[in-house]
Structure 1
Amino acid sequence: MTSSSASVPPLPLIRALGWFRDGLAALHRRLVPGHIALLELQMTGFLTQGIHAAAALGVADALVDGPKQPDELARTLGVSEDGLRRLMRLLISFDIFSQRRNGSYALNGMSQALRSDADVTLRDVILFFGSDFHRNHWTHLADAVRTGHSVGPALDGLPFFEYAAAHRDIGDMFDKAMTSISTLSTEPLFAAYDFGRFGTLVDIGAGHGSLLTEILRRTDAARGIIFDLPDVVAELPAQVAKLGLAERLSVEQGSFFEAVPKGGDAYILKHIIHDWSDEEAERILRTVRAAMEPDACLLVIEIVLPEHQRPHAGKFIDLEMLVNATGRERTAAEFRNLLARSGFLLTRIVHTAAPDCVLEARPAR
């Protein structure tokens, strides 16, 4: 059986808190003059770059050993004390760091996630989203909306994934960002879904294999296959051996547009389908379907867009897909239709305490 973390709050509580938070935010926007509410939202872009600056400078890592006075922290980081004070003043006002009564800066619940060594770290994804490369693409959001297509080919000469493969500085930054995001959903996934009921799991487009590695750590008998492009998985066999999982976890390379390993009881596609258009996603799903036995299970782990008008993480990521990829986030109905066209029957959707859901599907008879 899969173990789950007692630290993950119950899903009904998460939803209730979300509704309460959204309600308060909506009330605030309606009570203040419209132009003030709009300006406040626009200026949150400054805050996101402030968070990026703290991640790039390593502020959280410098505070791991305990609080530091501004002058001491500035010397540790090699930055201007005045500049640091001004940055921290903004971040502290949003509870991203804390300041003690004696003036020293300290970590708190949010800034712990900026540590590079935290169990749940968002540092790498913040570095990617705040990078010059990513920000430059988002300045062309209007162009993406105007054309309905990614801006990458026009700006970089190549679609994003081809560009990332050819420019490994961007590719490595992106790979680390995706691993960083994965840590956010790990505990909610294990709390909501029992991966331990499958004998052999195949993770398609697994990246660095963090999810499958964690599944095997938490199960006694399961075996796994990590599958991704050759340049992505080249160093993984040595890492698997260091983890003591070589007898249960293998690494195979290839393209999910061509063929994937056979013999799995469950096939995982985590944060893959949303990167691609319906036509490309259908190609991937049909490739996976061709490798599956009739009683095998497909697990698509993605955000499922809700059909309400409240804020939701998927609505942000959907625009990210528009700007930087050919894909999109999808509603439950859109997933059901896509899976049906690809030879699958959607059997259930398992919601988690994170934005991700597990869409469980079986080969259509």
Structure 2
Amino acid sequence: MTTHTDSADKLALRNTLIEGIGGYMTAHSIGVFAELGIADLIKDGVRGSDELAAESNTHEPSLRRLLRTLTAVGLATEPEPGRFGLTAVGSQLRSDSPDSLRAFSRMFCHPILLRAWQGLEHSVTTGERAFDHVYGKDFYTYVAEQGAANKLFNEAMGEESRIAAARLAAGYDFSRAEKIVDLGGGDGTLLAAVLPAHPHLKGIVFDSPGGVAEAPEVLKRAGIEERCEARAGDFFQDIPGDGDLYVIKSVFQDWSDEDSYALLRSCRAQIPASATLLIVGTVMPETSSPENPIMFFTDLNMLVNTGGRERTENEFRTMLEETGFSVERVLLGAAGPLSVIEARPAAAR
């Protein structure tokens, strides 16, 4: 005999699965909301869908349906019919928010990435990058050729870095360093947080020409352009040798084991023997659980788009030790959502 409790439990299980299946609908909804800039129009108030439609040049009944859906998933509020505000989560889609993730949302809900994700089965069955299979070239080459998308990607990576950069600036002891080199530093967001907090430091943001393109403006806004330069290059070939602290943030996740080992060997060969290497990134647990799904989605995103992956502490230790580094400390959660691995060149044997 089926009881009411049994039926309620089954309904809850059914709803959980269906909500997961509908995740792509949530992503598309957030992407359109961010692209249209609706959060900027709502700001701190409550606005009618008719006003918002007029200002965003959208179809009012359809916009209302989008806003009601976003209310249902916790980004908006509807205190009275047809009038909408923002939750604390939705406020992150305001472009003027210090915690803005609008560019991040636009990038990760962009048709370029959504189309690549349609190739997930190809990646799972072959181990190959779906992005290359779909577009005929690798992610970074393709995006670099797309002017607007490349700029959006750099901005999105800058937004993603803000919390980790602020935590690192506040929590790590930089007193022994004089010049910090951020390898793969993109638009300079990390050093734009670190250098103002530590006036004795100088810095170099080092990345590909496309990756570092927005850095001069970011460094200028932070008031550190006299102490920090943006330098373009290939960290597999030519790493600046005049630093004493090298930071690699959220880079190894992009690369295969082969490329990650190559990058570490490049570092070992070119950085001073007395330098410190900081790896700032996700450190995966040995087993998965529902507690932090973001890192597992990120890992899968790397499979689809770049061919990289997230790694465990033991995997990082193995890579570093096999490429001539000695791990000094592993500081889990020391950079907000990210961890910090401190290593030094090992003594030559």
TM, length-normalised to structure 2? 0.90
In structure 2, distance between residues paired with 1:42 and 1:276: 29
The equivalent residue for 1:77 is 56
Provide the rounded CA distance (Å) in 1 between the counterparts of 2:173 and 2:76.
36
Residues 1:238 and 1:330: Cα distance change in structure 2 (over 3 Å) = closer
Q: For 1:337 and 1:60, how far apart are their aligned partners in 2?
A: 45
State the alpha-carbon separation in 1 of the partners of residues 9 and 245 from structure 2: 48
Q: Distance in 1 between matches of 2:325 and 2:56?
A: 53
Match of 2:153 in 1: 174
Question: 8 Å contact 1:229–1:255 — kept in the other structure?
Answer: yes
Equivalent in the alignment of 1:135? 114
1:356 maps onto 2:320 in alignment: no
1:228·1:252 contact (CA, 8 Å) conserved in 2? yes
- Give me the whole-angstrom Cα distance separating, in 2, the residues matched to 1:241 and 1:182: 18
Q: Which has the higher contact order (CA 8 A, sep 6+)?
A: 1
Q: How does 1:25-40 map to 2 (within 5 A)?
A: 32=11, 34-40=13-19
Q: Distance in 1 between matches of 2:199 and 2:206?
A: 21
Deviation at 1:239, TM superposition (A): 5.3
Partners of 1:314 and 1:207 lie apart in 2 by: 21
Residue in structure 1 matched with residue 259 of structure 2 by the alignment: 280
Q: In structure 1, what is the equivalent of residue 309 of structure 2?
A: 328
Gaps (5+ residues) in structure 2? Answer: 1-7
Three-state SS of the structure 1 residue aligned to 2:210 is helix
Structure 1 position 153, deviation (Å): 2.0
**In 1, distance between residues paired with 2:160 and 2:221?**
23
Where do residues 26-175 of structure 1 align in structure 2 (5 Å cutoff)? 32=11, 34-64=13-43, 66-101=45-80, 104-175=83-154
Residue identity opposite 1:359 in structure 2:
I
Distance 1:177 1:243, change over 3 A: closer
- 1:222 corresponds to 2:222: no
Aligned mates of 1:127, 1:148 — CA distance in 2: 27
The C-alpha deviation readout for 1:294-353, integer Å capped at 9, x for no partner, is: 221101111111123312221111111110012110011111111111111122111227
SS in 2 for 1:100: strand
Q: Report the alpha carbon displacement of residue 280 of structure 1 after superposing the two structures with TM.
A: 0.6
Shift of 1:165: 2.1
Q: 1:240 aligns with which of 216, 219, 232?
A: 219
What is the Cα deviation at residue 238 of structure 1? 5.8
CA distance in 2, matches of 1:41, 1:105: 25
Residue 231 of structure 1 corresponds to which residue in structure 2?
210
User: 1:270 touches 1:301 (CA, 8 Å); kept in 2?
Assistant: yes
2:320 to 327, 339, 347: 339
Aligned residues with identical type, % of pairs: 36
Match of 2:298 in 1: 317
Question: What is the Cα-based RMSD across aligned positions, in Å?
Answer: 2.2
**CA drift at 1:32:** 4.5
Whether 1:201 aligns to 2:180 is: yes
Stretch deviating more after TM superposition (287-296 or 248-257): 287-296
Question: 2:239 matched to which residue of 1?
Answer: 260
Amino acid at match of 1:182: S
| 2:277 counterpart SS class | strand
CA distance in 2, matches of 1:34, 1:102: 30
Q: CA deviation at 1:30?
A: 7.2
Task: State the distance in 2 between where 1:100 and 1:43 align.
Answer: 25
- Counterpart of 1:328, as a letter, is R
Q: Give 2:111's aligned amino acid.
A: D
One-letter amino acid of the counterpart of residue 310, structure 2: E
Deviates more, 1:294-303 or 1:58-67: 58-67
Alpha-carbon distance in 1 for matches of 2:168, 2:77: 30
Q: Which runs of 5+ in 1 are unaligned?
A: 1-28
Judging changes above 3 Å, is the alpha-carbon distance between structure 1 residues 303 and 80 closer, same or farther for their aligned structure 2 residues?
same
Q: Give the secondary structure class of the aligned counterpart of 2:297.
A: helix
SS in 1 for 2:206: strand
Go from structure 1 to structure 2 and tell me whether the alpha carbon gap of 1:68 and 1:143 turns closer, same or farther (over 3 Å shift): same
Give how far 1:96 is off.
Answer: 0.7
TM-score, with normalisation over the residues of structure 1? 0.86
User: Any idea what the Cα deviations from partners look like across 1:184-203, whole Å, max 9, x if unmatched?
Assistant: 43334345433454221000
**Deviation of the 1:263 alpha carbon:** 2.2
Contact 2:188 2:218 in 1 (8 A): no
